[in-house]
């Protein structure tokens, strides 16, 4: 048993089990759900530790209910922070499309985060997951619950998983065409390729440079934030690496990269061209106005809702990758 702030003994939670073993809560969730991605020795250790601590898994919350709740859970993978707010266009634009479609279909929506969902699964008919997580962990945790689910992201999981997303590889190729077509030869890629969507953007970018007189001179992992990009670009400048173009995994990274460039006396785009991804509302009012690969979040939200309702209704569903386009501006 754990203790609350008043020193009273309380029933242990999944987080308590995770802390006891020094593992992630998602790993505990998957192990207690007998998910195949957790090796048997680890599952055994976690189950034994949970039993010793008095933790009890709410099995019924994972199972399909005999009676429909007319409720869909929307689970957000991203962890909110001071640098990356829930009020930003992602995930709000996706949520707008989801809510529009669910409301039109007479469905309720429960909004939660992946950690809360794993700890306290709500009673719902299906799940929409926004973001697969590092190495697909979030998607695996949702899958373990046994409910019909649809994921916003990249098609990197099992073939039967239904995914709605943008053609990220094509977006990477568009950025390569744009930068190399403007005579940029020494290029950077900024983004965390542990995320499936970013991996595809990076791969498409590399593919688009094949046969061209241009190359990626550095690939820098950074958070999806302005601050993360500032730090990454500052580091590469201070190292003395020569570059004249940057492709960024999202627009916040692109804005942070530009801030760092300007702070170090580099002109955008005279010295360095920068391309973002998302075409977020801020892209057209940033200075300089940001060139970006556009993806249609609102349509993505509608498609996510339609597909999860089809799954709940027992209808055949296929994944859908939406086309992207490059919006050229000043950067």
DSSP tag of 136:
G
| Residues lower than pLDDT 50 in the chain | 1-7, 59-66
Question: pLDDT tens, 220-262?
Answer: 999 999 999 999 999 999 999 999 999 999 999 999 999 999 9
pLDDT at 129: 93
Radius of gyration of the chain (CA): 22
Cα separation, 43 vs 63, in Å, equals: 20
Peptide bond connecting 198 to the previous residue in cis, omega within 30 degrees of 0? no
Number of Cβ within 10 Å of residue 216's Cβ equals 17
* Nearest one of 222, 220, 221, 171 to 197, comparing CA atoms: 171
Number of Cβ within 10 Å of residue 159's Cβ equals 6
pLDDT at 24: 82
pLDDT at 326: 98
- Crossing angle of helices 226-238 and 251-263, in 10° steps, is 40
pLDDT at 4: 47
DSSP tag of 325:
E
C-alpha dist (Å) from residue 264 to 90, 234, 261:
29, 8, 5
For residues 315 and 148, the answer to whether their CB atoms sit within 8 Å is: no
pLDDT at 131: 84
Cα separation, 133 vs 207, in Å, equals: 24
C-alpha dist (Å) from residue 148 to 92, 184, 298, 311, 312:
23, 46, 22, 6, 6
pLDDT at 317: 93
């Amino acid at each position: 048993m754990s203790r609350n702030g008043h020193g009273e003994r309380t029933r242990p939670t999944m987080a308590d089990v995770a802390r006891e073993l020094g593992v992630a809560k998602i790993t505990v969730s998957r192990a207690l759900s007998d998910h195949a991605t957790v090796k048997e020795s680890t599952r055994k250790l976690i189950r034994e530790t949970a039993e010793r601590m008095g933790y009890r898994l709410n099995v019924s919350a994972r199972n399909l209910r005999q009676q429909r709740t007319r409720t869909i859970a929307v689970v957000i993978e991203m962890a909110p922070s001071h640098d990356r707010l829930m009020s930003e266009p992602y995930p709000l634009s996706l949520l707008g499309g989801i809510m529009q479609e669910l409301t039109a279909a007479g469905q309720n929506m429960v909004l939660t985060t992946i950690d809360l969902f794993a700890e306290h699964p709500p009673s719902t008919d299906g799940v929409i997951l926004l973001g697969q997580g590092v190495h697909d962990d979030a998607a695996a945790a949702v899958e373990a619950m046994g409910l019909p689910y649809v994921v916003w992201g990249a098609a990197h999981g099992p073939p039967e998983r239904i995914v709605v997303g943008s053609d990220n590889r094509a977006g990477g190729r568009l950025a390569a065409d744009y930068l190399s077509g403007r005579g940029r030869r020494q290029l950077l890629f900024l983004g965390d390729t542990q995320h499936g969507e970013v991996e595809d953007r990076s791969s498409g970018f590399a593919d688009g440079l094949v046969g061209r007189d241009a190359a990626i001179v550095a690939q820098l992992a950074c958070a999806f934030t302005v601050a993360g990009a500032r730090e990454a670009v500052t580091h590469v400048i201070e190292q003395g690496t020569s570059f004249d173009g940057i492709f960024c995994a999202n627009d916040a990274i692109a804005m942070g990269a530009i801030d760092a460039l300007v702070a170090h006396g580099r002109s955008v785009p005279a010295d360095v061209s920068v391309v973002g991804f998302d075409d977020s509302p801020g892209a057209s009012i940033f200075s300089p106005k940001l060139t970006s690969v556009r993806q249609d979040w609102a349509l993505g939200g509608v498609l996510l809702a339609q597909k999860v309702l089809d799954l709940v209704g027992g209808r055949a569903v296929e994944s859908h990758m939406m086309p992207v386009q490059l919006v050229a501006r000043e950067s």
